[in-house]
Amino acid sequence: GENVEQHPSTLSVQEGDSAVIKCTYSDSASNYFPWYKQELGKRPQLIIDIRSNVGEKKDQRIAVTLNKTAKHFSLHITETQPEDSAVYFCAASLGNTGFQKLVFGTGTRLLVSP
């Protein structure tokens, strides 16, 4: 089955710095890669996603890049702010069109210090 590896498990940065979280996947048929942010005690919330026909997508301070050949994708957060502190999960789709499921990575705890 699909395996999604995520690194690092924890990341500490100073406010204003950039943060990068990396994920790799195993199923070459995966075509959808969302990123979720989960604050303590709250539900995971979708922050950005990318499909396999696109190499990069940006939304204000966050961007995601995808390298299909290498089977890895990354989340980039620029100008980090304390409110970016949370656990971030990557995911990759698995399964046939119409019955896809998401396999999640193990999460990255991001801490942004003022």
Is 103 one of the binding residues for another protein (CB under 8 A)? yes
Could you tell me the CA-to-CA distances from 13 to 58, 81, 111 in Å, in that order?
Answer: 21, 10, 6
6 versus 80: smaller Cβ distance to another protein:
6
66 versus 91: smaller Cβ distance to another protein:
91
Is 46 one of the binding residues for another protein (CB under 8 A)? yes
Q: What is the DSSP letter of 26?
A: -
* CA gap 105, 7 in Å, rounded: 9
* CA gap 111, 75 in Å, rounded: 15
Is 89 one of the binding residues for another protein (CB under 8 A)? yes
**Is 66 buried (19+), middle (13-18) or exposed (0-12) by CB count in 10 A?**
buried
Q: Considering only 13-21, 45-53, 64-72, 76-84, which stretch makes contact with another protein by CB under 8 A?
A: 45-53
57 versus 78: smaller Cβ distance to another protein:
57
Using DSSP, state whether 54 is helix, strand or coil. coil
71 versus 109: smaller Cβ distance to another protein:
109
Residue ranges in contact with another protein by CB under 8 A: 4, 6, 31-32, 34, 36, 42-46, 49, 51, 89, 91, 93, 95, 97-107
